[in-house]
Amino acid sequence: MKQFKADLHIHTTLSPCGSLDMSPKNIIAAALKAGLDMIAITDHNSTKQVQVIKELGQSKGIEVIGGAEINSSEEVHCLTLFETGEVLQEFQEYLDRHLVPVKNDPAYFGYQVVVNANDEIIEEEDRLLISTLDVGVVEIEQAVHKMGGLFIPAHIDRPFNGIISQLGFVPYELKADAYGLTRHADLVKWQNDKRVPENAVFLRNSDAHRPRAIGRAFSIFEMNDATFSEMRKTLIGENGRKIILPG
């Protein structure tokens, strides 16, 4: 088996809180500089910027996983990751149905633009993407798994928008594939935290909103190849695959 360095929580120009420097070319350049083998594009409640970054990543030898960072009705942020473009489009339709319709104010929240491989704006999203969905975290998790995706509560150590800060515990019926930690989180503390399921799998991700933050936090996947299917197997420790967290 080989070791692959992965950062699975990265925003783009499409997220209102993301820098306009987070274009496809800049993201891939920063990922290469950070020595990453795998990244995930996870804008707030949208998947529209994934495909062009995926194609650019393939040309540079970086595996790009598509997904989104959803905001549930309880304001819990969770990463959702999918294997194929077809399923990603299905999930986009799910997001379109459930995003609470609030109009974006770019002057206040930030611009939400989709750009092409040449950094040219091809679409501006009018709906505020940091709004909540009109469904709860458990229902979203079930929908994601029904589509064959992965579901990862994000930055659970943060005092806002994490599943612990918002709910106080992980609902017993929630079937998470892993739990996200920031680079500052104490791994041992969270491994022993009774609010999190026993034997939970943890990942460190950057939650990058600017190019310089990409790869600042990461996880090492020990597996056969840098693919979605191998990543899924590693999350359950199949046949000796494992995750190594720095720090």
pLDDT tens figures, 147-161: 999 999 999 999 999
DSSP codes joined into one string, 177-217:
S-EEE-TTS-HHHHHT-TTS-TT--EEE---BSSGGGTTSS
- Predicted local confidence at residue 246, as pLDDT: 84
Number of domains in the chain: 1
pLDDT at 65 over 90: yes
Of the two residues 246 and 238, the one the predictor is more confident about is 238
C-beta of residue 111 within 8 angstroms of C-beta of residue 18: no
- Predicted local confidence at residue 161, as pLDDT: 97
User: Average pLDDT in the 141-149 region?
Assistant: 98
User: Average pLDDT in the 136-152 region?
Assistant: 98
User: Residue 23 is part of which domain span?
Assistant: 2-244
- Predicted local confidence at residue 195, as pLDDT: 96
User: Average pLDDT in the 11-26 region?
Assistant: 96
142's tokens: 């079930």
- 82-104: pLDDT as tens digits: 999 999 999 999 999 999 999 99
| pLDDT band at 225; cut points 50, 70, 90 | very high
Task: Work out the mean pLDDT of the chain and round it to a whole number.
Answer: 97
Sign of CA dihedral 11, 74, 130, 213: negative
- Predicted local confidence at residue 48, as pLDDT: 98
- 106-118: pLDDT as tens digits: 999 999 999 999 9
Give the CATH number, domain containing residue 15: 3.20.20.140
137's tokens: 């975290």
C-alpha 115/C-alpha 56 separation (Å) is 13
| pLDDT band at 51; cut points 50, 70, 90 | very high
Of the two residues 247 and 40, the one the predictor is more confident about is 40
pLDDT at 247 over 70: no
- 158-212: pLDDT as tens digits: 999 999 999 999 999 999 999 999 999 999 999 999 999 999 999 999 999 999 9
Total Cβ atoms within 10 A of residue 25: 16
Q: How far is CA 116 from CA 22, 24, 46, 88, 141, in A?
A: 12, 7, 16, 18, 30
As a whole number of Å, the end-to-end CA separation of the chain is 22
C-alpha 177/C-alpha 8 separation (Å) is 13
pTM: predicted TM-score of the whole model, two decimal places: 0.97
pLDDT at 135 over 70: yes
